[in-house]
Amino acid sequence: MKKSKLVGILLFLMTVSMLVHTSAATMNVVVITDPTGQDPNGAAAGSQSWAENMFQSTFILSKDKHFCVLSGGEGNETPRLAAVMEAVNNLENGGTAESAATLANGFSGIRVMTGGPTIGAAVGGYFLAYVVIVSDNGTITITPYSGGIAVLPPGTKGAIIHLRNTPGNPQYGTADAVRLQTAEMMGQMIRDGYPATDVVAAAFKNVAINAGEKHGGGAVNLVSGITTGDMFTPTELNTTGFPMDQPYSKVSDNGWSVAYPEAANYQTSPIDGSNLTTVYAYQALDNAITVNANTTSVAVYGTDAPGVADTTQEIVQASVDKHGFSGTQIAKDINSAISSGLLVGVNNVEASDINVNANQKAVGVYFKALPDNRTSPPWNLPISASILNLLGNMQTAIGLILVILVLFRSTLISSFLKK
């Protein structure tokens, strides 16, 4: 009798802890500062948590249809995945943020937040959220919601933030205050004209420092279709991601950078001795999802060699800044980089290998990788390679014979004379 009661209580406690585990535990935020979808940084979203398993599934991004689906980070939590899939499916078929987020109410203990530049934003299911609406005359309205559905209507500027504390977080109990504080801060930033990517990064910083829900997660730029990918996500199952309030890397004025933990060993740039600036994770997140007006997006094809894509990006950017969008000029600059050894493992390019789209500020470079792990392109000699090979081998052979001749000179001569 007593034993069965104990088992019953244990079961009840386990159920409760599981339920708490599914519904609590994260920060989700969607910010829309340009509901027309024109500004490349006009809509952004992100997730972070104290909890483990904040993989990319907690901030799913559609690059083509410009929407995101955020949820809690519970690994392979089955109903959460079902809710996320229903939301994605709804949005793929032309649903609004509201219609997709409502679907979360069909699952117990699940929260789904969705948003996009033109579809508005919404959170459905189990949540504690503030909806921030900034009207055109600068009035900021902040409304609390808990559970059901909360909507930022399409066409309005504003944000939605959900925040709860995860059990085990040393800053447990701060969520309510920080949620309001972050909502107010976001409202002011949106009113003052900051782009959505900056607002999201600021929210990450505030929540990570003041509420302790700090493990990435990550963020997405909904208009430009850029995601932080696995920059901050955990490397293995059942571990936490990168703490968003910690230093992420160090950067020198000239572009050299090194990531933590190695960065702790560097005080100055080893290349030119210039000073290093520490980049915190929330700043790195901002840099990763913000699109600069003068940034050229460079796509590299034909090689997966590490470093080639990054270096090409820089060369093309420099070339475009100097000469504008000219395929021949870009090809010339890339070729000079190849001959100076800056780019290794690829053959020289022709102007026809460069695909330039000046309107979209996009450049595609089609490389041809070199065979046999060679580092530089073949030389262009007037004599064919096989003849050179033959001549070279013959000369080497004659040279070696001469050496032998010298060594055994006296013996050889005497043996000839004897004859």
**Beta carbon of residue 313, minimum distance to another protein (angstroms, whole number):** 16
Least distance CB 64 / another protein (angstroms): 5
Give the footprint of another protein on this chain (CB under 8 A): 53, 55-58, 60-65, 73, 75-76, 78-79, 81-82, 85-86, 88-89, 92-93, 227, 229-230, 233, 301-305, 367-369, 371-372, 376, 378-381, 385-389, 391-400, 402-403, 405-406, 409
For tokens 């910083």, what's the residue?
Answer: 205
Identity (one letter) of the amino acid at 54? Answer: M
Show the CA angle centred on residue 226, arms to residues 143 and 110, nearest 5°. Answer: 45
Residue 111: CB minimum distance to another protein, A:
16
Residues 6 or more apart whose CB falls under 8 angstroms from that of 386 comprise: none
CB nearer another protein, residue 19 or residue 397: 397
**Nearest CB to another protein, comparing residues 11 and 400:** 400
Q: Which of 400, 43, 402, 48 is nearest to 244 (CA)?
A: 48
Q: Which is nearer to another protein, 185 or 369 (CB)?
A: 369
Judged by beta carbon, residue 102 or residue 182, the one nearer another protein is: 102
Q: Which is nearer to another protein, 76 or 277 (CB)?
A: 76
Q: In whole angstroms, how close is the CB of 90 to another protein at the nearest point?
A: 9
Cα-based distances in Å from 205 to 25, 27, 167, 191, 285:
17, 12, 20, 19, 10
Cβ contacts of 380 within 8 Å, gap of 6 or more: none
d(CA 283, CA 200): 11
In angstroms, give the least distance from the CB of 319 to another protein: 22
DSSP letters for 372-418: GG-SSPPP--SS-HHHHHHHHHHHHHHHHHHHHHHHTHHHHHHHHHH
**Dihedral angle computed from the Cα positions of residues 365, 371, 377 and 381, in that order, rounded to the nearest 10 degrees:** -140
Q: Over the Cα atoms of the chain, what is R_g?
A: 30
Torsion of CA 320, 322, 323, 328, to 10 degrees: -60
Based on CB atoms, which residue is closest to another protein, 55 or 130?
55
> Smallest distance, Å, CB 259 to another protein?
17
Residue with Cβ nearer another protein (156 or 233): 233
- Least distance from C-beta 190 to another protein, angstroms? 27
